[in-house]
Amino acid sequence: MNSTPCYRFRPSRQSRLSGVLVLALGALAGCEKSSPPPAAPATEQPDAAPAKPAVPSEVTLLVTGGTFGQLQPVEGKGGAAELLGQWVNNEKHCPGPVKDGQATCADSGTLALATGDHWNGPALSSFFLGAPTAEVMGRMGYAASAMGNHELAFGKEAFLKNRASGGFPFLAANLRVKDPALAGDLSLPAFQVFDRRGLKIGVVGLASEKTVRTAMAGRAEGLEVTGYEEALASAVPEARKAGADTVVVVADTCVTELQPVVAKHPEWKLALVAGGRCPAQVYSKENGTIFASLDRGFSKYLRAHITFDPAKPAGEKVTQFEGKLVDVAGGTPDAETAQLVAKWKAQLDEVLGQQIGFTKTGITQASPQMAKWIAGAVRESLGTDAAILNKGGIRGDLPAGAVTRGSIYSVMPFENSVLVVKLKGEDLAKQLSNPNALISGFTAAGKGKFKDAKGKALDPAKEYTVATVEYLYFGGDGFEFEKLAPEPTETGMAWQTPVVDWTKQLDSNEKKPLEKQLK
């Protein structure tokens, strides 16, 4: 089959200058079998990135009271691992240390807070000066705590170490450094603002007004406490200036002490005031502010749910704030927290697990037998006429069964050293009359009158030797030992030591249990 030949077209110079493209196309059109230029390959469009899910405009505050070292369940309730497991599963809480106010999970929607008083309590915490509790609370993801009046129970160095281990700040708007040379590193922030999902939450802390005067000698030197109203009047506006959309207060005091103060200042617009130290549970909502008291330990927590509108101006975003007290029950404990507690428990058992006595019935915290055991052990061991301790230093019952060193540290968790003083009878009678006194060696014999262990009346003019503890000597609970006896004899002995030694000497067992030997 003939075909028209396809000639190569040679354009002139002028053509090349004026119409190269047009001529070339014309030449190509004259070729019968010419193929069109290959089409450019289609460019593949990348798959569209999946839309990022919208972050819910909700934040949940999780608030607990003072831990008091209660890392394990008490009578089958609570416990650190159990609480965290419930937070993770039910509240979608992010465990692990909070850094610079932020949780390790993206878009975390919870903020864990506490009202203070964490280290002292059962031997599991107090024997190690609070280190186990600090480590566990760090794992639980606490963001901040109020400064409790027992935070310095094991000294400044232990507090600073525990604060670093926990990784969260202690807040106290009413605790100021009066003398930096004495207070050292105990300057505490009044508040902190936390960002959760674009909502800024201002958290103001309050220490108990008793913090300085109840701390043992040297532990709160250089600090002073101001009134609650004065502190809040300064801290709340400052938190607002720092960008807080809502402000909450955590306090180491019963909320009933703060309700009248808050009622006088509706301009503060506080969303929540949470505290501890109440003799009975408190939960109410007054003029838009939730007031809640929290039990010690991890048996219960406050769930405060915040709904907000991110499109609204700063300070006006919150649309709803609702609270509820939640019991810790059932669920799966957090495995890592359980391992931490078990690690410390194993160390404690190794040190304190040796049985030194036995009780068939146990000894309750406020019973006369408790005074005979604890105060009696101190008096007998030191050979004094009297022993005066304080009822508040006894923090639990002695359970039935084997008595160990650990049992004693659980009953007597505070760090205290024993002192011996000499008092005239008339001055001793005033100390024995203190309602906080836990006494051995004397019993009441009428108003302001006492008789000794042999039934002889206290002689106002006679000099008596009295064993007491550092906390009371320096004015704790209203005692006057320092003023009455400025040169005490320092034994250098921890107050648990004579109780351990004396209990061992009694050699109690099932046939002659401890409680029978105290009668």
In the chain (519 residues long), the average pLDDT of successive 10-residue segments reads: 38 38 35 45 54 78 95 92 97 94 92 95 87 98 95 88 97 93 88 97 94 70 92 98 97 96 97 92 94 94 97 93 94 96 94 92 95 97 96 93 93 88 97 96 93 95 96 92 91 89 95 92
Q: How many CA atoms lie within 13 A of 130 on its CB side?
A: 30
Name the pTM for this structure: 0.74
Per-residue DSSP letters for 2-38?
Answer: -----PPP---HHHHHHHHHHHHHHHHHT-TTPPPPP
Determine the pLDDT at residue 149. 86
CB 182 within 8 A of CB 226: no
119, 144, 263, 423, 458 from 162: Cα distances, Å = 9, 13, 36, 39, 46
| pLDDT score for 218 | 67
pLDDT digits (tens, 9 = 90+) for 210-244: 888 766 666 788 889 999 999 999 999 999 999 99
Fold of 58-346: Purple Acid Phosphatase; chain A, domain 2 (3.60.21)
- Would residue 298 be called left, alpha or beta, if left means φ above 0 and alpha means ψ between -120 and 50 degrees? alpha
The residues facing 92 across adjacent strands are: none
Q: What is the pLDDT of residue 19?
A: 40
Return all residues near 30 (Cβ < 8 A) that are at least 6 apart.
4, 6, 7
Q: What is the pLDDT of residue 480?
A: 96
pLDDT of residue 183: 83
Provide the pLDDT for residue 127: 84
What's the pLDDT at 185?
A: 82
Distance CA 457, CA 290 (A): 54
Q: Which of 193, 222, 182, 225 is nearest to 207 (CA)?
A: 225
Q: What is the pLDDT of residue 277?
A: 84
First to last CA, the chain: 133
Q: How far apart are CA 429 and CA 427, in angstroms?
A: 5
Token pair for 452: 């000794």
Where along the chain do the CATH 3.90.780.10 domains lie?
354-518
- How far apart (Å, rounded) are the C-alpha atoms in residues 22 and 467? 117
Task: Record the tokens describing residue 72, joined without a space.
Answer: 């394990």
Instruction: Return residue ranges of the chain for CATH 3.60.21.10.
Output: 58-346
Q: In a 3-state reduction of DSSP, which class is residue 254? A: coil
pLDDT of residue 3: 42
How high is the pLDDT of residue 4? 39
338 to each of 4, 93, 288, 371, how far by Cα in Å? Answer: 92, 17, 38, 35
Select the CATH number that applies to the domain covering 354-518 from these four: 3.10.450.40, 3.90.780.10, 3.40.710.10, 3.30.565.10.
3.90.780.10
| Cα distance between residue 497 and residue 519, in whole Å | 22
Strand stretches in 138-282, DSSP E: 142-146, 170-171, 175-177, 191-196, 199-206, 223-225, 246-251, 270-275
Side-chain half-sphere exposure of 102, counting CA atoms within 13 A: 8
The confidence score (pLDDT) of residue 392 equals: 92
Rounded alpha-carbon distances, angstroms, from residue 265 to 82, 208, 236, 316: 39, 20, 11, 18
